[in-house]
Structure 1
């Protein structure tokens, strides 16, 4: 623990498990206070809160909310500020991910995938902007390496994440000079859960296309997020790929 983020207040969406939880653990170890948002992962959120508060009492709070409901965005900000007194960092990590075949795409899939991956980050960032300006804070969005070369069968997800890249750059313009806005674009980092498409044959093919010949870990993404928060005061509007070089081989 180096305490480089001591007294920083960070709100992270979808922070209860997987990559989100890895980000939470690393930033908390560096001294940050966390407001961890979740939608349905209440057991995971409570367990993570208990784990981290044992290490540093009263340093982590959790909050539930459906980000597709626009009324939730301002409440996340006000609850965070009410609990910790300020907001230094917003991490838009929450995401919905599943395939959508052209010819079978319905409005529900569109609203869900663009809602979680694009609409929610926009409106949450808008709500957070006044507080982030007060602290000269920053926003970190979690995008995807596939925005430049869309993955077949995932058209709506790919469009939404591509929009998030443009949103990152637009917000960097809109919120400068007080607030920096950047993004991390993970590649093969943790396999999706309970998806038969990601069988052993698929996994070995992905690994073979990755320059480093392995998949990444949640902590690889977390370290990139930490860099953008604490070690990049002259970086804004940028996208950092954390993909083991796979994007060079697609």
Structure 2
């Protein structure tokens, strides 16, 4: 086991190779955490983020590759973090699968895949991490979605899975208290889906957002960082980081 630097906190971020997950990892690292970075397929990007952060503080990162659809992946990830760093203070359940499931075309594979990544894996990661988090009076942040409360047409299974993640956030906040705080962040329009090129709809969405702009990954990362280490009396909350978008849905 690698010797742990005294007092340095450790965070596990799933889906940390790209987009919002990479931004969260960078923010927590800048805040002094050692970071365990998980990815499933984006291995080149994962390595690049790890090298970037290690260059800033040598020995401060660890990469983990796993498919969260696999039943054994959550325990293996937590075991890998503890083997490398000897502790775990923060879990950020960011990894997610997102695709359309119009009613009439929904399959069992859609259901299983969307629930596996968005609800089942976060639950079993939290369960696997609970003892280590209790030891350090740590915290969990789940990345939910404003559409968990106000479903997006054509994406019913995704919205249902994120709603389950929201319910899990509240349930674990009660069950893991007082030693572990559990909260969520519900982003609005932050990064447009990479396969989404409906610019007219994007402009319409922005026009209906009270702050009249999309958010940034840094907005989400800042909320996660606040919940993890600057909000010691906050648990069981899901923060909407959406520029007011949920007011206009």
TM-score, normalised to structure 2, is 0.96
Q: What does residue 83 of structure 1 align with?
A: 84
SS in 2 for 1:34: strand
Q: What does residue 3 of structure 2 align with?
A: none
Q: 2 CA distance for matches of 1:105 and 1:249?
A: 28
SS in 1 for 2:12: strand
Q: What does residue 135 of structure 2 align with?
A: 134
Q: 2 CA distance for matches of 1:227 and 1:193?
A: 28
Q: 2 CA distance for matches of 1:155 and 1:200?
A: 22
Q: What does residue 149 of structure 1 align with?
A: 150
Q: What does residue 168 of structure 2 align with?
A: 167
Structure 1 segments of 4+ aligned residues over 4 angstroms from their partners: none
Q: 2 CA distance for matches of 1:126 and 1:218?
A: 27
SS in 2 for 1:14: coil
Q: Let me know the Cα RMSD of the aligned residues.
A: 0.8
Q: 1 CA distance for matches of 2:106 and 2:196?
A: 19
* TM alignment of 1:1-250, pairs within 5 A: 7-196=8-197, 199-250=198-249
1:200, CA displacement in angstroms? 1.2
Q: 1 CA distance for matches of 2:54 and 2:133?
A: 25
1:195, CA displacement in angstroms? 2.5
Q: 2 CA distance for matches of 1:148 and 1:77?
A: 30
List runs of 5+ in structure 2 lacking aligned partners.
Answer: 1-6
Q: 2 CA distance for matches of 1:247 and 1:163?
A: 18
TM-score, normalised to structure 1, is 0.96
Q: What does residue 3 of structure 1 align with?
A: none
